Amino acid sequence: MPELPEVEAVVRSLKAGGLEGSRLKSAKVLRATVTRPQTIEEVELKSVRTKVLTVERRAKNILLHLSNGRSIRIHLRMTGDMAITALAAPEPATTRVVWILDGRKKLLFLDGRALGSVHVYSTAELNKKLEKLGPEPLGRAFTVRRFVDSARRSRLAAKLFLMDQTKVAGLGNIYAAEALFRARISPTAAMCSLTDVQLQELRSAIRSVLRRAVQSVDKAYRLPGGFRHHQDDFTRLVYGRRGKPCAVCGSEIERISQGGRSTYFCSYCQR
């Protein structure tokens, strides 16, 4: 499942492929569900005859800002991906949206399970959609003071706090668990109960884990098969390792359910 590092890798690949500055000449939506509640016609008409000014990631969203005052917002969900190919290249069966670019190229939105989404908004509409997102964990706004102040006001369990997109934008299940392990904090501990030192260590762990993951995914995404190579390069110390020995103390890694998601942790190291 694409999380922040995977989405970042897609954004970087689109930039490297020259999408910024390219003209979107025409569009064709091949699966109506990816644009709902917007119509196919709305997405097709509002995203063409314009130029892509910038490509950026906000949380787990891919944003293509256009010269017509609109932006395309793409969410990859479980199996989404994007690619720039030659105009004559065959389109995979998982292709859901196609934009024809200048320079005899095309931009594809691919999604095997068709759970992802593609929408077009004006700048004002997009800002309203994203206004509740918290700070980017790798950005300048994710300061120690802001993180500590937010934690002090929350009784949420640590893992649920980190998964709350209004608290930290884009942090997903895998990297939340890994950051908590590296900071030696229990996923069930109330955020308001943690000391300033623990919170500083957790913030540092979040940034460290994400930086390493972004480097790993970016490298893997350039290889045939893409993201699956990432798991060979990024070491997961707890996530998905239930019953296996902890790399630090040797105790068995445990799994519990929090907010409908699996949480992996070491009960000895994380107290």
Sheet arrangement for strand 80-86: 80-86, 105-111, 95-101, 23-29, 50-58, 61-66, 70-75, 117-122
Active-site hit among 2, 5, 137, 187: 2
- 6 as an active site residue: the answer is no
- 153 as an active site residue: the answer is no
Q: How many C-beta neighbours within 10 Å does residue 264 have? A: 24
Gap between the Cα atoms of 195 and 268, Å rounded: 19
Q: What is the DSSP letter of 252?
A: B
Active-site hit among 60, 73, 182, 241: 60
CB 215 within 8 A of CB 12: no
- 2 as an active site residue: the answer is yes
- 5 as an active site residue: the answer is no
Buried b (16+ CB within 10 A) or exposed e, 204-229: ebbeebbebbbebbbebbeeeebbeb
Active-site hit among 3, 8, 136, 178: 3
Identity (one letter) of the amino acid at 168?
A: V
Non-local (6+) Cβ contacts of 250 within 8 A are none
Gap between the Cα atoms of 196 and 14, Å rounded: 39
Q: What is the CA radius of gyration of the chain?
A: 20
Active-site hit among 49, 51, 77, 261: 261
Catalytic residues: 2-3, 60, 261
